[in-house]
Amino acid sequence: MTAVTAATLKTALEAASYPYVIRFYTTIPKFPIYPYVTIIKQPPQGTEQTITDTTKTDGFEITLNIRYTRSESVEESDQATIENTILATLEAQNFGTSALYSEGKMWNRVGIPKPYGSQSSIRVVIKDKASTSGSGTLGSEVTLEIQDGSTIQVLSFNYSKGPNVEDHGDDTGLIARSVGLFDAGNYTFEYESTPDLDSEIETISSTGIGKNIKWKEKNSTKQWIALFGKTTKRGQFDNIMRAVTQFTVEGSW
Protein backbone atom coordinates (compact mmCIF):
# COMPACT_ATOMS: atom_id res chain seq x y z
CA MET A 1 0.00 0.00 0.00
CA THR A 2 2.60 2.55 1.08
CA ALA A 3 5.07 3.57 -1.63
CA VAL A 4 7.21 5.48 0.88
CA THR A 5 9.31 3.36 3.26
CA ALA A 6 11.06 4.53 6.43
CA ALA A 7 14.37 4.48 4.52
CA THR A 8 13.11 6.60 1.59
CA LEU A 9 11.40 8.98 4.01
CA LYS A 10 14.70 9.30 5.94
CA THR A 11 16.49 10.20 2.71
CA ALA A 12 13.89 12.85 1.86
CA LEU A 13 14.05 14.41 5.34
CA GLU A 14 17.86 14.44 5.33
CA ALA A 15 17.84 16.40 2.07
CA ALA A 16 15.89 19.30 3.61
CA SER A 17 17.53 22.39 5.09
CA TYR A 18 17.52 22.90 8.89
CA PRO A 19 18.92 25.56 11.28
CA TYR A 20 21.57 23.08 12.45
CA VAL A 21 22.78 19.53 11.85
CA ILE A 22 20.26 16.80 12.74
CA ARG A 23 20.84 13.05 12.75
CA PHE A 24 18.13 10.77 11.34
CA TYR A 25 17.43 7.16 12.32
CA THR A 26 14.94 4.50 11.23
CA THR A 27 15.37 2.75 14.60
CA ILE A 28 15.53 4.06 18.16
CA PRO A 29 19.25 4.66 18.90
CA LYS A 30 20.70 3.09 22.05
CA PHE A 31 23.12 5.97 22.62
CA PRO A 32 21.51 8.99 20.92
CA ILE A 33 23.38 12.15 20.01
CA TYR A 34 21.13 15.21 20.19
CA PRO A 35 19.44 16.59 18.16
CA TYR A 36 18.07 13.60 16.27
CA VAL A 37 14.96 12.37 14.47
CA THR A 38 13.55 8.85 14.40
CA ILE A 39 11.29 7.55 11.62
CA ILE A 40 9.44 4.48 12.86
CA LYS A 41 6.69 2.50 11.13
CA GLN A 42 3.74 3.16 13.41
CA PRO A 43 1.16 1.78 13.52
CA PRO A 44 1.89 -1.48 11.66
CA GLN A 45 -0.22 -2.01 8.57
CA GLY A 46 -3.78 -3.04 9.36
CA THR A 47 -6.81 -4.16 7.39
CA GLU A 48 -10.52 -3.77 8.07
CA GLN A 49 -12.73 -5.80 5.77
CA THR A 50 -16.47 -5.86 5.11
CA ILE A 51 -18.47 -7.78 2.53
CA THR A 52 -17.97 -4.94 0.01
CA ASP A 53 -14.99 -2.81 1.11
CA THR A 54 -11.46 -3.40 2.34
CA THR A 55 -9.81 -0.52 4.22
CA LYS A 56 -6.03 -0.61 4.70
CA THR A 57 -4.28 1.54 7.29
CA ASP A 58 -0.58 2.34 7.31
CA GLY A 59 1.65 5.07 8.66
CA PHE A 60 4.79 6.40 10.28
CA GLU A 61 5.71 8.28 13.43
CA ILE A 62 8.46 10.88 13.14
CA THR A 63 9.93 12.10 16.43
CA LEU A 64 12.21 15.13 16.85
CA ASN A 65 14.38 15.10 19.98
CA ILE A 66 16.18 18.29 21.02
CA ARG A 67 18.37 19.07 24.03
CA TYR A 68 18.31 22.74 24.96
CA THR A 69 21.76 24.37 25.08
CA ARG A 70 20.60 27.94 24.43
CA SER A 71 17.75 30.11 25.68
CA GLU A 72 14.28 28.61 25.44
CA SER A 73 13.03 31.26 23.03
CA VAL A 74 15.84 30.57 20.54
CA GLU A 75 15.51 26.80 20.87
CA GLU A 76 11.73 26.87 20.40
CA SER A 77 12.00 29.18 17.40
CA ASP A 78 14.42 26.81 15.67
CA GLN A 79 12.31 23.84 16.71
CA ALA A 80 9.24 25.38 15.05
CA THR A 81 11.27 25.91 11.87
CA ILE A 82 12.36 22.24 11.89
CA GLU A 83 8.80 21.03 12.50
CA ASN A 84 7.48 23.12 9.60
CA THR A 85 10.26 21.87 7.31
CA ILE A 86 9.52 18.24 8.17
CA LEU A 87 5.78 18.82 7.67
CA ALA A 88 6.40 20.41 4.24
CA THR A 89 8.59 17.45 3.26
CA LEU A 90 5.87 15.02 4.33
CA GLU A 91 3.28 16.94 2.30
CA ALA A 92 5.43 16.42 -0.80
CA GLN A 93 5.54 12.64 -0.39
CA ASN A 94 3.42 10.21 -2.41
CA PHE A 95 2.25 7.61 0.08
CA GLY A 96 0.98 5.35 -2.68
CA THR A 97 -2.79 5.43 -2.19
CA SER A 98 -4.86 5.07 -5.34
CA ALA A 99 -7.26 7.64 -3.88
CA LEU A 100 -6.73 9.65 -0.74
CA TYR A 101 -9.40 8.75 1.82
CA SER A 102 -7.62 9.93 4.94
CA GLU A 103 -4.15 11.31 5.63
CA GLY A 104 -3.64 12.99 8.98
CA LYS A 105 -0.55 14.88 10.19
CA MET A 106 -0.41 16.68 13.55
CA TRP A 107 2.60 17.66 15.67
CA ASN A 108 2.59 16.94 19.41
CA ARG A 109 5.26 18.53 21.63
CA VAL A 110 6.25 17.57 25.19
CA GLY A 111 9.13 18.57 27.46
CA ILE A 112 12.05 16.32 28.32
CA PRO A 113 13.25 16.73 31.95
CA LYS A 114 16.53 14.84 31.49
CA PRO A 115 18.35 15.99 29.49
CA TYR A 116 16.55 19.30 29.53
CA GLY A 117 14.89 19.76 26.16
CA SER A 118 11.84 18.95 24.11
CA GLN A 119 10.39 16.14 22.05
CA SER A 120 8.06 16.66 19.09
CA SER A 121 6.30 13.81 17.34
CA ILE A 122 4.13 13.68 14.26
CA ARG A 123 2.19 10.65 13.10
CA VAL A 124 1.24 10.13 9.47
CA VAL A 125 -1.72 7.79 9.07
CA ILE A 126 -2.88 6.81 5.59
CA LYS A 127 -6.09 4.97 4.76
CA ASP A 128 -6.91 3.41 1.42
CA LYS A 129 -9.99 1.55 0.24
CA ALA A 130 -10.54 -1.18 -2.31
CA SER A 131 -13.29 -3.49 -3.42
CA THR A 132 -13.27 -6.71 -1.39
CA SER A 133 -14.28 -8.76 -4.43
CA GLY A 134 -11.75 -6.98 -6.62
CA SER A 135 -14.40 -6.42 -9.27
CA GLY A 136 -16.43 -3.67 -7.66
CA THR A 137 -15.87 0.00 -8.44
CA LEU A 138 -15.45 2.63 -5.75
CA GLY A 139 -16.87 6.08 -6.32
CA SER A 140 -13.34 7.51 -6.15
CA GLU A 141 -12.42 5.44 -9.20
CA VAL A 142 -14.84 7.35 -11.43
CA THR A 143 -13.76 10.34 -13.56
CA LEU A 144 -15.29 12.30 -16.42
CA GLU A 145 -12.93 13.42 -19.16
CA ILE A 146 -14.11 16.14 -21.54
CA GLN A 147 -12.57 15.97 -25.00
CA ASP A 148 -10.15 18.89 -25.41
CA GLY A 149 -11.04 19.93 -21.87
CA SER A 150 -10.78 19.01 -18.21
CA THR A 151 -10.64 15.68 -16.43
CA ILE A 152 -13.07 15.87 -13.52
CA GLN A 153 -12.83 13.79 -10.35
CA VAL A 154 -16.40 12.67 -9.73
CA LEU A 155 -17.31 12.93 -6.04
CA SER A 156 -20.70 11.23 -6.39
CA PHE A 157 -23.13 10.40 -9.16
CA ASN A 158 -26.57 8.99 -9.94
CA TYR A 159 -27.87 7.62 -13.19
CA SER A 160 -30.80 5.85 -14.80
CA LYS A 161 -30.55 3.75 -17.91
CA GLY A 162 -32.59 1.20 -19.80
CA PRO A 163 -36.12 0.71 -21.11
CA ASN A 164 -39.20 2.19 -19.50
CA VAL A 165 -41.88 -0.34 -18.57
CA GLU A 166 -45.44 0.71 -19.44
CA ASP A 167 -48.63 -0.64 -17.88
CA HIS A 168 -51.62 -1.82 -19.93
CA GLY A 169 -54.99 -3.03 -18.70
CA ASP A 170 -57.60 -5.24 -20.36
CA ASP A 171 -61.34 -5.48 -19.82
CA THR A 172 -60.91 -7.92 -16.94
CA GLY A 173 -58.71 -5.49 -15.05
CA LEU A 174 -55.58 -7.59 -15.51
CA ILE A 175 -52.46 -5.45 -15.79
CA ALA A 176 -49.90 -6.34 -18.42
CA ARG A 177 -46.58 -4.60 -18.92
CA SER A 178 -44.50 -3.96 -21.99
CA VAL A 179 -41.20 -2.28 -22.76
CA GLY A 180 -41.51 1.29 -23.94
CA LEU A 181 -38.87 3.88 -24.80
CA PHE A 182 -35.22 3.10 -24.11
CA ASP A 183 -33.16 5.60 -22.09
CA ALA A 184 -29.50 5.60 -23.21
CA GLY A 185 -28.47 7.16 -19.88
CA ASN A 186 -29.37 10.15 -17.73
CA TYR A 187 -26.61 11.15 -15.30
CA THR A 188 -26.07 13.67 -12.53
CA PHE A 189 -22.54 13.97 -11.18
CA GLU A 190 -21.03 15.99 -8.32
CA TYR A 191 -17.63 17.66 -8.37
CA GLU A 192 -15.64 20.47 -6.77
CA SER A 193 -16.76 23.86 -8.00
CA THR A 194 -13.93 26.05 -9.31
CA PRO A 195 -14.19 29.19 -11.47
CA ASP A 196 -12.43 27.59 -14.46
CA LEU A 197 -14.44 24.37 -14.33
CA ASP A 198 -17.72 26.21 -13.76
CA SER A 199 -17.02 28.36 -16.82
CA GLU A 200 -16.12 25.32 -18.93
CA ILE A 201 -19.29 23.41 -17.98
CA GLU A 202 -21.46 26.50 -18.51
CA THR A 203 -20.00 27.04 -21.99
CA ILE A 204 -20.70 23.44 -23.00
CA SER A 205 -24.23 23.52 -21.59
CA SER A 206 -25.13 26.82 -23.26
CA THR A 207 -24.38 25.49 -26.75
CA GLY A 208 -27.11 22.84 -26.53
CA ILE A 209 -24.86 20.57 -28.60
CA GLY A 210 -23.61 17.12 -27.63
CA LYS A 211 -20.01 16.95 -26.37
CA ASN A 212 -17.61 14.02 -26.62
CA ILE A 213 -16.71 12.71 -23.17
CA LYS A 214 -15.06 9.69 -21.60
CA TRP A 215 -16.75 8.23 -18.52
CA LYS A 216 -14.15 6.13 -16.71
CA GLU A 217 -15.06 3.62 -14.02
CA LYS A 218 -11.97 1.80 -12.74
CA ASN A 219 -10.73 -0.20 -15.77
CA SER A 220 -13.78 0.53 -17.93
CA THR A 221 -14.02 3.51 -20.29
CA LYS A 222 -17.19 4.58 -22.09
CA GLN A 223 -17.00 7.11 -24.93
CA TRP A 224 -20.26 9.02 -25.10
CA ILE A 225 -21.78 12.00 -26.85
CA ALA A 226 -23.30 13.84 -23.88
CA LEU A 227 -25.76 16.71 -23.82
CA PHE A 228 -25.04 18.79 -20.70
CA GLY A 229 -27.96 20.34 -18.86
CA LYS A 230 -28.64 22.18 -15.64
CA THR A 231 -26.03 22.74 -12.94
CA THR A 232 -26.82 23.34 -9.29
CA LYS A 233 -24.32 24.37 -6.60
CA ARG A 234 -24.14 23.58 -2.92
CA GLY A 235 -21.94 25.26 -0.35
CA GLN A 236 -21.62 25.53 3.40
CA PHE A 237 -19.48 27.46 5.86
CA ASP A 238 -17.01 24.65 6.67
CA ASN A 239 -16.87 22.82 3.35
CA ILE A 240 -15.75 23.34 -0.24
CA MET A 241 -18.49 24.42 -2.64
CA ARG A 242 -19.66 21.59 -4.88
CA ALA A 243 -21.55 21.55 -8.16
CA VAL A 244 -23.96 18.98 -9.57
CA THR A 245 -24.44 18.80 -13.34
CA GLN A 246 -26.84 16.72 -15.38
CA PHE A 247 -26.02 15.19 -18.74
CA THR A 248 -27.88 12.86 -21.09
CA VAL A 249 -26.21 10.26 -23.28
CA GLU A 250 -27.08 10.76 -26.96
CA GLY A 251 -24.80 8.14 -28.44
CA SER A 252 -21.22 6.91 -28.66
CA TRP A 253 -18.19 8.12 -30.54
Domain ranges of the chain: 6-131, 139-252
Is 188 in contact with 245 (CB distance < 8 Å)? yes
DSSP 253: -
- C-alpha to C-alpha distance for 88 and 27, rounded to whole angstroms: 22
**106-129 pLDDT per residue, tens:** 888 888 877 889 999 998 888 888
Is 248 in contact with 211 (CB distance < 8 Å)? no
**128-161 pLDDT per residue, tens:** 888 898 888 888 889 999 999 999 999 999 999 8
CATH topology for the 139-252 domain:
Pnp Oxidase; Chain A (2.30.110)
**List of E strands, the chain:** 23-25, 36-41, 46-49, 53-67, 102-104, 107-112, 117-131, 142-146, 151-153, 156-169, 175-192, 211-217, 220-236, 239-252
Q: Domain spanning 6-131: which CATH class is it, in words?
A: alpha beta
pTM of the model: 0.75
Residues constituting the chain: 253
- C-alpha to C-alpha distance for 173 and 193, rounded to whole angstroms: 52
